[in-house]
Amino acid sequence: KAGVTQTPRYLIKTRGQQVTLSCSPISGHRSVSWYQQTPGQGLQFLFEYFSETQRNKGNFPGRFSGRQFSNSRSEMNVSTLELGDSALYLCASRAGTGVEAQYFGPGTRLTVT
């Protein structure tokens, strides 16, 4: 099976702009989670979607939003970008909502200037 794919892999944006990141989960996986990784804060959970519904949410401002489509693909949007939003954004998928392992994508490296 193909792994989790994320596009784009690299992105450079300017403060104040908005950005949309995309994630395609492993075929058959219905749960998609998003994480932000920075050197200072480590891996932080953003939100999780299952069957097109947001099921869990981390402690991030409302500028961070997401959605999931009927084919389980997910997008994450960040509006009004700030310099501190520069990070590696990781998407992970798993089959359901139990304790099964998550499978991560390679991430999108976002740089805000």
Partner 1 sequence: LAKTTQPISMDSYEGQEVNITCSHNNIATNDYITWYQQFPSQGPRFIIQGYKTKVTNEVASLFIPADRKSSTLSLPRVSLSDTAVYYCLVGALGFSNDYKLSFGAGTTVTVRA
**Which residues would be at the binding site for partner 1 (CB under 8 A)?**
4, 33, 35, 42-45, 50, 55-59, 88, 90-92, 94, 97-107, 109
What are 43's two structure tokens?
């891996």
- Rounded Cα distance between 38 and 16, Å, is 20
Q: Count the helix, strand and coil residues of the chain and give each as a percent rounded to the nearest 5.
A: 5, 55, 45
Going by C-alpha positions, the residue among 65, 110, 105 that lies closest to residue 87 is 110
Cis peptide before 8 (omega within 30 of 0): yes
